[in-house]
Structure 1
Amino acid sequence: MERAVTPPGLRPVGRKRTNRFARVVEIALGILLVAAIATSLLGRGGLGFGGVGGGKTITVGGKNFTEQDILVHMLSSLIEAKTDLKVVRKPFLGGSQVTHSALASRSIDLYPEYTGTGWSSVLGEAPIGGDPQTTYDKVKEAYETRFGITWLPPFGFNNTYTLSMRADAAERLGIDTMSQLAARSSELTLGATHEFLEREDGFKGLQAAYGMHFKKVTGLDPGLTYGAVKEGTTDVNDAFSTDGRIQAFKLKTLKDDKRFFPPYYAAVVIRDDTLKAHPELEETLNLLAGKIDDATMSALNGKVDLERKEPRAVAEQWLKEQGLI
């Protein structure tokens, strides 16, 4: 009865079977999505090394959450302002595997990625902590060698994974670190995105590193995790450190005292053939290198998630304030 009336985004994750099913569904949807994008773009003039519209169109893709939506519009508007290229905007394509597949298959030309995600989720390497520059250098070299894809210099902010819970609950339970959370995890529930539950640098690795065993684990759509904790539907959620809802919803992020999570510095990933066809893109996109710190990205996210402003308007307003468009 409970399963029949519970919305799909709030149903418990049945440990292995459901996680495997969610993974298969994401991959299948990704294949269909890439095919659909390619078909659509072929109708506009065919796929080309530098884009999709007779060599003068660039397609910018992004993942399925607010920060990526803002970055897609930021990159797209900057390209349109600084070059004679036309831009097709494709935010909310899906998770990491979907967007990477779209890039590799030439359905899109570039998108924003995170160093830790590229290393662990895309390349399938064991998570590495420590120095951000080391992580960037390793992932940059591996992408170039394996995929013919270039990592441009990072924007400047580190949107690392974290876990959060209501600040009042954390204080009441004496939880400040992830180790302290693990000690009480059998009393608590976790609501996390399906991608986080599947990733080795997410819940799988976190369980092994900290020995967490929650009373209940629920797979949620990305837009529901913070509200679920705020309303008390779940006790703990996976969070992005630059999400504006953390402060607005009075949540507390827990210290990763074992340094499990790697650095997640955001940067543009772009195919080498696209850069070769349009070398002006590198100089244009590098105008954003080092320009966006954690606080700035968090504030931009908050304008969309909390103030309900349009992502494109938020992105373009920031670009104007910086004198970039």
Structure 2
Amino acid sequence: MNIQKKRTVFALILATLALLFFTGCAKDDTITIGSKDFGENIVIGEMLSQLVEAHTDLKVVRKLNLGGTFVNFNAIKNGQIDVYPEYTGTGLTAHLKMDVIKDPDTSYQVVKDAFEKQFCIIWLDPLGFNNTYTLAVTPQVYETYGVQTFSDLVPYAKDLVFGAEHEFFDRQDGFKGLVDTYGFSFKGEPMKLNASLKYQAIGKGDMDVTDAFATDGPIKQYNLKVLKDDKGFFPPYYAAPIVRKEVLEKHPELKGVLNLLQGKLDDATMTELNYQVDVEGKAVEQVAKEFLQSQNLL
């Protein structure tokens, strides 16, 4: 090999080593935070991002509004994101394929233990609110039939159109289980929509019944009537940050920082924040910042 070729090879080796070094450094001091594709999860993801930026030297890459539950779960398992907000009921039934556990503390402990063992993912402390699934009906349905519970709705379901986001039809604690438990038989085929379009559809009268999360802002916007799950079909859905174990081992300070939100968000508070984002159209960054400042966390 002549001198020129040796120099070229040596230069390529140096360039490669430099690239690996700087890439490694960038990765070591960066954390990627994701979220699902609806307002509540996005605003929580933004809160977590702002906390990390305010209380650590880590840089935050935001992948908020990444997609549905399974998009985020696959991303964290594959190392594409490091943190995202998840719900105990989702962890239990959608990811672990387990039966519903109605006691919230037991449900949390089961998912916490199983996630660490099976996926090397750590559940941090719950944020405080229970965003469980429920059913919501239009004011017209409520005024016509006076329904209060899921069971009250059964006799009238044949005359009512049901609609929900796509994911609701793919979950153990979703449409099929709901129908089997209560014996619903809705009018025609259910409508399947993107989560962002669901409330617009029921608001326009395209459907009569939809699934809802207990803290959804549009419930207030469209004056929907939330029904009681009198047979306890839906499990508790307490929200908490979940983090790759490897990331916590590299950056142990993250645990305390992300846990600053522990117990800070009850149902009413989360509903109000969701209303600000989803209905009033306030910027997620602003809503997150104002809440964190109100709690003296920034």
Q: 2:167 is matched with which residue?
A: 195
Say yes or no: does 1:127 pair with 2:89.
Answer: no
State whether residues 127 and 200 of structure 1, in contact with CA within 8 Å, keep that contact through their aligned partners in structure 2.
Answer: no
Q: 2:59 is matched with which residue?
A: 86
Q: Which of 256, 266, 276 is the matching residue for 2:249?
A: 276
**Aligned-partner Cα distance in 2 for 1:65–1:72:** 11
Q: 2:109 is matched with which residue?
A: 137
**Amino acid corresponding to residue 166 of structure 1 in structure 2:** T
Q: Which of 22, 27, 46 is the matching residue for 1:54?
A: 27
State whether residues 225 and 238 of structure 1, in contact with CA within 8 Å, keep that contact through their aligned partners in structure 2.
Answer: no
After TM superposition, the structure 1 = structure 2 runs for residues 61-76 of structure 1, keeping only pairs within 5 Å, are 61-76=34-49
Say yes or no: does 1:176 pair with 2:148.
Answer: yes
Deviations 1:175-222 (A, max 9, x none): 111111122211110110000111110111101110111113110110
Q: 1:148 is matched with which residue?
A: 120
Q: CA RMSD in A?
A: 1.6
Q: 1:164 is matched with which residue?
A: 136
**Aligned-partner Cα distance in 1 for 2:245–2:116:** 8
Say yes or no: does 1:261 pair with 2:215.
Answer: no
Q: Which of 198, 218, 224 is the matching residue for 1:245?
A: 218
Say yes or no: does 1:220 pair with 2:185.
Answer: no
State whether residues 128 and 261 of structure 1, in contact with CA within 8 Å, keep that contact through their aligned partners in structure 2.
Answer: no
Rg: which structure is higher? 2
Bigger shift: residues 162-171 or 87-96? 162-171
Deviations 1:205-251 (A, max 9, x none): 10111011111311011011112122211001111110111122110
**Aligned-partner Cα distance in 1 for 2:289–2:61:** 16
**Aligned-partner Cα distance in 1 for 2:20–2:161:** 48
Deviation at 1:72, TM superposition (A): 1.0
**Aligned-partner Cα distance in 1 for 2:64–2:283:** 13
Say yes or no: does 1:292 pair with 2:265.
Answer: yes
Question: What is the SS of the residue equivalent to 2:162?
Answer: strand
Q: Which of 103, 106, 125 is the matching residue for 2:79?
A: 106
Deviation at 1:53, TM superposition (A): 2.6
**Aligned-partner Cα distance in 1 for 2:157–2:177:** 16
Deviations 1:249-273 (A, max 9, x none): 1100111000000000000110111
**Aligned-partner Cα distance in 1 for 2:27–2:160:** 55
Q: 1:233 is matched with which residue?
A: 206
Q: Which runs of 5+ in 2 are unaligned?
A: 1-18
**Aligned-partner Cα distance in 2 for 1:54–1:230:** 45
Q: 1:118 is matched with which residue?
A: 91
Q: Which of 255, 262, 274 is the matching residue for 1:301?
A: 274
Deviations 1:79-117 (A, max 9, x none): 000000000011111111110110011000010000000
Deviation at 1:174, TM superposition (A): 2.5
Q: Which runs of 5+ in 1 are unaligned?
A: 1-41
Deviation at 1:287, TM superposition (A): 0.7
**Matched length:** 279
**Aligned-partner Cα distance in 2 for 1:72–1:53:** 21
**Amino acid corresponding to residue 122 of structure 1 in structure 2:** H
Q: 2:291 is matched with which residue?
A: 318
**Aligned-partner Cα distance in 2 for 1:158–1:262:** 10
State whether residues 104 and 147 of structure 1, in contact with CA within 8 Å, keep that contact through their aligned partners in structure 2.
Answer: yes
- Residue identity over aligned pairs, in percent, reads 50
**Aligned-partner Cα distance in 1 for 2:111–2:137:** 31
Give TM-score, length-normalised by structure 1: 0.83
State whether residues 61 and 91 of structure 1, in contact with CA within 8 Å, keep that contact through their aligned partners in structure 2.
Answer: yes
**Aligned-partner Cα distance in 2 for 1:118–1:106:** 18
